[in-house]
Chains A and B, each alone.
Chain A
Amino acid sequence: GAGVSQSPSNKVTEKGKDVELRCDPISGHTALYWYRQSLGQGLEFLIYFQGNSAPDKSGLPSDRFSAERTGGSVSTLTIQRTQQEDSAVYLCASSLGRGGGEKLFFGSGTQLSVL
Chain B
Amino acid sequence: GNSVTQMEGPVTLSEEAFLTINCTYTATGYPSLFWYVQYPGEGLQLLLKATKADDKGSNKGFEATYRKETTSFHLEKGSVQVSDSAVYFCALSGWDDKIIFGKGTRLHILP
Contacts and interface: CB of A to CB of B under 8 A. Distances in A.
A65 interface: no
Contacts of B97: 31, 48, 50, 55, 97, 99-100, 102
Contacts, number: 58
Nearest to B94: A100
A93 B100 CA distance: 12
Given A48-B99, A50-B97, A99-B97, A42 B89 contact: yes
A33 B93 CA distance: 12
Nearest to B98: A56
A25 interface: no
Interface string A31-50: 10101000011110100101
A43 B46 contact: no
B105 to A, nearest CB: 9
A104 B46 contact: yes
B43 A107 contact: yes
Contact of A109 (B1, B43, B89, B95): B43
A102 B98 CA distance: 11
B29 to A, nearest CB: 9
A50 B95 CA distance: 13
B15 to A, nearest CB: 27
B98 A48 contact: yes
A109 B42 CA distance: 10
Nearest to B87: A42
Interface of A: 31, 33, 35, 40-43, 45, 48, 50, 55-56, 58, 91, 93, 97, 99-104, 106-109
5 contacts: A41-B103, A42-B104, A45-B100, A48-B98, A56-B98
10 smallest CB-CB distances across A and B, nearest first, come from A42-B103, A43-B101, A101-B32, A101-B51, A100-B32, A106-B44, A42-B104, A100-B93, A106-B43, A103-B46
